[in-house]
Chain A
Amino acid sequence: GENVEQHPSTLSVQEGDSAVIKCTYSDSASNYFPWYKQELGKGPQLIIDIRSNVGEKKDQRIAVTLNKTAKHFSLHITETQPEDSAVYFCAASGGSSASKIIFGSGTRLSIRP
């Protein structure tokens, strides 16, 4: 089955700086890669996603890149703000896990004022 690894587990950046979170996946047939943001006491919120036929996608301060050959994808947050502080999960779906969303272990992002 699919396995998703995520790094780093914790990340602290100065407000206004950029943050990058990286994930790798094992199943080359996976074709959908969402990113979720989870704030304390809340459910995961879908913030951006990318499909295997696209290399990069942007939405305001957030961007995701995908390298299918290397089987890794990354989340980039620019001009970080205090409200970006949360736990971020990458995930993979499709292939042998078509009906499942397999999550990475999560990254706790803290924005220093």
Chain B
Amino acid sequence: DTEVTQTPKHLVMGMTNKKSLKCEQHMGHRAMYWYKQKAKKPPELMFVYSYEKLSINESVPSRFSPECPNSSLLNLHLHALQPEDSALYLCASSRGLPGAEAFFGQGTRLTVV
């Protein structure tokens, strides 16, 4: 099983809303990632969690708040987003070792209105 499950698949939110994206994996992976992908661009790294601790924050604005409640779950809390934050948000996981394969979920298509 190499599945990373993301919910919801689509999300439309207003600029004053608070919403959360969820990601789950049951491969025993100890590293989990959030990426942002704009149309016709490669995925851009946002956050890395390693053993449930935030290890990398790529200078992401505070309106994006990640959370890793346990080794299988990863959340991304959204608050006061801007229309330019509309994108495909991808979650990935890996064993957390250098050179370990990373597997991506199908993404959440976020539209901020």
Contact = CB atoms under 8 A, between A and B. Distances in A.
B50 to A, nearest CB: 7
A41 B30 CA distance: 27
Contact of B43 (A34, A44, A98): A44
A51 B105 CA distance: 23
A89 interface: yes
Dominant SS among interface residues on chain B: strand
Chain A: interface size category: 20 to 34
B42 A31 contact: no
A31 B99 contact: yes
B55 interface: yes
Interface string B95-112: 010111111111101000
A93 B90 contact: no
Contacts of B92: 101
Interface of A: 31-32, 34, 36, 41-46, 49, 51, 89, 93-94, 98-106
Contact of B48 (A43, A45, A100, A104): A100
B42 A106 contact: yes
A31 B100 CA distance: 10
Closest 9 CB pairs of A and B: A32-B99, A103-B42, A43-B104, A43-B106, A98-B98, A44-B104, A43-B107, A94-B98, A99-B48
Interface residues of B, number: 27
Contacts of B81: none
Contacts of B4: 43
Given A100-B45, A105-B42, A94 B99 contact: yes
